[in-house]
């Protein structure tokens, strides 16, 4: 696209060139000529603190050339507020930029500044949904959604939204993280009935994908946050693992293990009850069969537990 700054009258401005460190810079950056020209004008107008429409347009040109330039975004925000520009028009413009550069976090920082001043969230959740349709795990978009929810007290929408997102993709860790935020983000005491519902919700999701770390992490996080014992989910884990139920030396039926995470939780439950041999057996299975990538970790846990209980025996 043609750059708008080329149509400006810049006779009164002398561009300030990039200083890469003298005549023989060690590692000069090979900027495109248009970008170098635009940045020269930006340095010049910023040096005199110019507040004008042409400076605002210049920031737009630069953002489309390099959307990650924090200084340009910061200057643009200052200009918009000083010139008393229509903030809804700016939000519409950001939506265009956001869809072209969805992974750029500067866009979301800028939008937060503008929306905070605009003081109206009417466009926010619909726009966020559009962006998450493009990439349902975009960290910057989810972080921005959390800011919007807090800023405008929009908590009532969030559990239903995460329901939809998790239904689409039960492995969407970002959606699970946001659900945890929706339940506990206010910092208030959460009702026991809500905790019970969330535990059941996570269990149902785990049964759909027993190896899915996201749902397991959510379940364990809810239990920990609410000071509930792991033992509450022992029977649930037993349904996913065939653990030793009589003598500790009884072998686990390897064919019945459908979730390494369930086996991991059971190992921690056994250890908490001082059932060291059963815990050690579970960690051996994880190291040798079900999670060999973390073999050294499981061996460490096993040895550490055996040594700890031997010292207290």
Tell me the per-residue pLDDT of 127-176, one tens digit each, with 9 for 90 and over: 999 999 999 999 999 999 999 999 999 999 999 999 999 999 999 999 99
User: In this structure, what token pair is assigned to residue 280?
Assistant: 């050690």
In-domain check, residue 280: yes
pLDDT of 243 reads 47
| Placement of tokens 């030793």 in the chain | 244
pLDDT of 18 reads 78
User: In this structure, what token pair is assigned to residue 269?
Assistant: 């439950």
Which residue among 61, 85, 109 closes a domain?
85
We report the CATH number of the domain holding residue 21 as 1.25.40
pLDDT of 244 reads 45
**Residue-number span of the structural domain to which 33 is assigned:** 1-85
Model pLDDT for residues 76-109, shown as the tens digit of each residue? 999 999 999 999 999 999 999 999 998 899 999 9
**Residues of the chain scoring pLDDT < 50:** 1-2, 243-250, 252, 254-255
Give how far Cα 61 sits from Cα of 40, 71, 88, 113, 119, Å.
13, 14, 20, 20, 27
Give the chain's domain count: 2
Which residue among 85, 120, 143 closes a domain?
85
pLDDT of 4 reads 53
List for the chain the helix, strand, coil content (%; round to 5).
70, 0, 30
In-domain check, residue 285: yes
In-domain check, residue 250: yes
pLDDT of 1 reads 44
pLDDT of 249 reads 41
Q: What is the CA radius of gyration of the chain?
A: 28
pLDDT of 245 reads 42
Q: Is 117 a catalytic residue?
A: no
pLDDT of 171 reads 96
Q: State the catalytic residue, choosing from 36, 103, 137, 208.
A: 103
In-domain check, residue 239: yes
Which residue among 33, 60, 85 closes a domain?
85
User: In this structure, what token pair is assigned to residue 146?
Assistant: 């959390």
């Amino acid at each position: 696209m043609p750059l708008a700054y080329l149509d400006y009258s810049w006779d009164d401005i002398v561009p300030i060139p990039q200083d890469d460190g003298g005549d023989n810079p060690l590692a000069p950056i090979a900027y495109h000529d248009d970008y170098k020209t635009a940045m020269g004008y930006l340095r010049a107008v910023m040096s005199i603190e110019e507040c004008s429409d042409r400076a605002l347009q210049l920031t737009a040109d630069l953002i489309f050339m390099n959307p990650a330039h924090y200084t340009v975004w910061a200057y643009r925000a200052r200009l918009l507020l000083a010139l008393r520009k229509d903030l809804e028009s700016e939000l519409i413009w950001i939506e265009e930029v956001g869809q072209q550069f969805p992974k750029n976090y500067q866009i979301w920082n800028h939008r937060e500044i503008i929306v905070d001043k605009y003081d109206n969230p009417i466009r926010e959740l619909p726009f966020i949904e559009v962006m998450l349709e493009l990439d349902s795990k975009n960290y910057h978009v989810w972080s921005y959604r959390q800011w919007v929810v807090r800023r405008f007290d929009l908590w009532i929408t969030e559990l239903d939204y995460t329901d939809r997102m998790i239904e689409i993709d039960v492995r969407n860790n970002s959606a699970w993280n946001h659900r945890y935020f929706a339940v506990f983000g206010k910092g208030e005491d959460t009702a026991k009935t809500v905790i019970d519902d969330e535990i059941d919700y996570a269990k149902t999701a785990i049964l759909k994908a027993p190896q899915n770390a996201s749902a397991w992490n959510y379940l364990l996080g809810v239990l920990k946050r609410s000071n509930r014992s792991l033992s509450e989910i022992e029977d649930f884990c037993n349904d996913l693992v065939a653990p030793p139920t009589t003598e500790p030396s009884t072998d686990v039926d390897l064919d019945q293990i459908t979730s390494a995470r369930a086996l991991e939780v059971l190992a921690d439950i056994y250890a908490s009850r001082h059932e060291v041999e059963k815990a050690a057996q579970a960690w051996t299975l994880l190291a040798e069969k079900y999670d060999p990538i973390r073999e050294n970790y499981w061996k460490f846990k096993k040895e550490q537990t055996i040594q700890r209980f031997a010292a207290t025996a």
